[in-house]
Structure formats: structure tokens, C-alpha cells
Amino acid sequence: MGTEALKQSIGLSSIGNARELGGYPGAGGRTVRHGVLLRTAKLSTAAVEDLVTLSKKFRVARVIDLRSDEEINGAAEAAMFTNTYEPDRDLIPEGAEYMHLPIFDMQKMVDQINSVSGCQVRKEKTDLITALGVAVEAGILGDSLYFAFLDDDPGKSSFARIFRELISLEEGRALLFHCNQGKDRTGVTALLILSALGVSEDVIVSDYMLTNVFNRQRIEGERRMLEASGKISPDKIDTYLMAMDCVKESTMTSLLAHIKERYGSVTDYIINELGVTESEIELLRDKFLEQR
């Protein structure tokens, strides 16, 4: 793991993509406070010792689960894209409140895929490569998915609630947010939080790309698996990996361009679409930034 990744790691062995937003330069020459804004993959893999770390070391007060209802409750359609349905409301740090704030409507994605000629999402479980192939060929798992996180009502509602929770977070406590792999919905949430704190776009993109460092072994294994399957042409393997545990820089830069074109800036989006006031943004900066 590189130096930058080590700086952001929160030292968990059983939870994927586990890191923090602390240490990044923000507004007014200050830096994001360490140990209070945590981002991870799903918690359903958590070992007891890591839950204790989150409880005792970081004093996590809120666990925000960004996954869809279907992913948590076990709808077969969700298994097509996540290869799992694992609730983690019972696997949270002691003393933390679990909050389910889904960012997008899984059924809408399924309907979109079913509307594409020749693509039908089956109701029973299927192998991962076939499932991903349906979504990739339908063009669903691309930049447009990230746009939907921000543009559609479920995302706006949940992002607005996340900012309310940040504003009300108790002093000395941490907030942890996660989705399935801790990269897409979690990455967009990190974009919004870091932007509110005055962190530059370059740093935000760099933070987003750390997923490839934290998931390096998984990505290498998935690449070997996809190549060995013989089902995928070499020019499409990277696209499949993006739907699994990998990210690419152009996805985040495309999202930033989309925000500017549609909303003006990330701050404008936070204020006008999520209902966060300028004074509340200043409150967040005072709360989560500290002098270098």
C-alpha cells in the first residue's frame, strides 16, 4: 500500500476499502480532522476486533448504509449486480446508530435494463459474469449511474439527510458511511462532504482513486477470473472491473463536469438541491476542519 493510502487507512482487516477523509487540505488553510469521517465497504464482513476498533478508537456514532432496499432485504434482482444480499444493521459498532439512507432505486435500474432490447433480468440468481454482462451491455453501469445518484430524488433525499447528521454529530464522535464496495455511492458521498469542506477537486479525485490501491489484490484476482472465463473480449475487461471493485478517474471527472453543467458547482448543488445553507457550510467547516 502506498504512502497516501497508508495515511488514509483506518487499520481494519475485515472490512474492505476502509479509510478516512482526515488530513486533506480544506478551506481557510485548515485540514480535515482525523478520525471523524470514515468511509468503507459493507460491514457484513466485519470481525469483532474491527467493530471494537470502530467503537472504542473512533467512537462511531452513526453508521449510514447507502445501499438499496433490495441489496439489504435480499431481492433477487439485487444479487444480479452485487452478488450478495447482506444486511449489516446487526453488525455495527457498539454505541452507534444504524441509518439506512439508500442513494438510488435498484428497481429503476432493473427496469432500465429490461427496457433494452434482448436484456432481461431474471428473478433467480445467476453467475456474476453473466449478470454483469447484462448491465454492461445495457450501458447502465457507467457515468450515467453516477449522474443518477445526484439527479434523482432518492439520492437528493439521502444526501440531504447525511448533511443533517453531519451538522448534528456529537463532538468527539465519528460518522461512518458505506455502500457495498465502498467506491461508487460512497465515493460520491465523499465528493459532497469534501467539497463542502473546501477540499479541491484534484484531492477529491485522488481520494476517489485510492479505491484501486485499497482493492488492489481483489482487482488483480478479478482480472484473472475474467480473463480465464473466456466469456469476455479483452477490450471489455476493464469495463467489467469498474462494475466490480475498480474505479477510473474519468468517472469522477465526468461527474464533476455534469455537476457544473447542470447545477453550477458542487457547492451550488449542496445549497440549492440539498437545502444546506451557507451558514451551515461554515458550521461544518468549523466542526470538521482544524488548523494545520
Predicted confidence at residue 72, as pLDDT, reads 82
> What is the pTM assigned to this prediction?
0.89
Q: For residue range 67-81, list pLDDT tens digits in order.
A: 988 788 765 444 445
Predicted confidence at residue 74, as pLDDT, reads 61
| Burial of 62 per CB tally in 10 Å (0-12, 13-18, 19+) | buried
Predicted confidence at residue 290, as pLDDT, reads 96
HSE-CB of 220 using CA atoms within 13 angstroms: 4
HSE-CB of 129 using CA atoms within 13 angstroms: 14
- The per-residue pLDDT of the chain, averaged, comes to 87
Residue 64's SS3 state is strand
Predicted confidence at residue 267, as pLDDT, reads 98
Rounded Cα distance, 133 and 43, in Å: 27
Predicted confidence at residue 104, as pLDDT, reads 87
Predicted confidence at residue 292, as pLDDT, reads 79
Domain boundaries, the chain: 3-271
CATH of 3-271, one of 3.90.190.10, 3.40.50.720, 3.30.450.20, 3.40.50.2000: 3.90.190.10
Stretch (H or E) spanning 178? strand 174-178
Give the residue-averaged pLDDT of 210-231: 88
Predicted confidence at residue 136, as pLDDT, reads 65
Does the structure show a pLDDT above 90 at 112?
Answer: no
